Amino acid sequence: MATQDQEFPSTIIDILQSSQRVVILTGAGISAESGVPTFRQAQTGLWAQYEPTELATPAAFERDPGLVWEWYSWRRELISNTAPNPGHYALAEMESFYPDFTLITQNVDGFHQLAGSQKVVELHGNIFRNKCTGEGRHIQDLPQTDEEPPHCPNCGGLLRPDVVWFGESLPSNALDSAFKAVKFCQLFLSIGTSTIIEPAASLPFFALNNGATVIEINPQETPLTPLASYAVPQPAGDFLPKLVKAINS
């Protein structure tokens, strides 16, 4: 593994400029500079007494749907008061450089799409989408009601955020698209993820096994760091705009 002592070794630029099939994996770290707390950061205010793992589960929703719905309303509010940062915009620009580009995200904030990325695979869903617990159908517009959670206008079942909870399986189409893209990629960027939560955490290692160059961008070490082709200990919001400029140079 080579670490980034000089800004951009020419080998990185060559690979970034010559690759055709590129996959990006992002985690909460890319939204950290927007002010969205990462999973390993402590929660604040009323929610400081809870661990996300206590609230983002089917059992928690079963036990107290109102509490879980309120937590997601708080997170939606928090995300709505922030915005994509230069790291998101840099990845949106990068998409146009490559004929085969896939952006896989573990984040549910929708910031990649907001920044202009088109080819986004949301492994863990999207916090601004809701689904009905009765029929599983996606509900775009919330009914006008004070009920928390609201009920499905079609079947009366409780609505829930369309995000993956702990212990739930990931949307199979998203997972299939992710592994298919990684199988054939030449270049894989792992950005802002602690590389702990499966199955997303396997993707960079799968890429390495398939002979891709894997670049990690994370100020902290992760299980990927010692094995990555290049490890860049910099914040994504700083590094990615510089990387895009270097590719265009």
Minimal distance, residue 20 CB to ligand OAD, in Å: 26
- The binder of ligand OAD chosen from 90, 120, 121, 164 (CB under 6 A): 164
Q: Which amino acid is at 118?
A: Q
| Per-residue interface string for the shown chain with ligand OAD, residues 24-53, x marking contact by CB under 6 A | ---xxx--xx----xxx-------------
CA angle 38, 191, 127 (to 5 degrees): 45
- The binder of ligand OAD chosen from 90, 207, 236, 247 (CB under 6 A): 236
Q: Is 79 in the site for ligand OAD (CB under 6 A)?
A: no
Question: Known catalytic residue: 124?
Answer: yes
- Beta strands 159-163 and 125-132 are antiparallel
Q: Which helix (H) or strand (E) holds 232?
A: strand 230-232
- Residue 46 carries which DSSP code? G
* Residue ranges in 85-209 assigned as alpha helix (H): 86-94, 111-114, 172-184, 203-209
Q: Is 149 in the site for ligand OAD (CB under 6 A)?
A: no
**Per-residue CA distances from 209 to 23, 61, 94, 133, 202 (Å):** 14, 39, 24, 39, 11
Minimal distance, residue 164 CB to ligand OAD, in Å: 5
Which of residues 33 and 93 has its CB atom nearest to ligand OAD in the complex? Answer: 33
* Binding residues vs ligand OAD (CB under 6 A): 27-29, 32-33, 38-40, 56, 106, 124, 164, 192-194, 197, 217-220, 222, 235-237
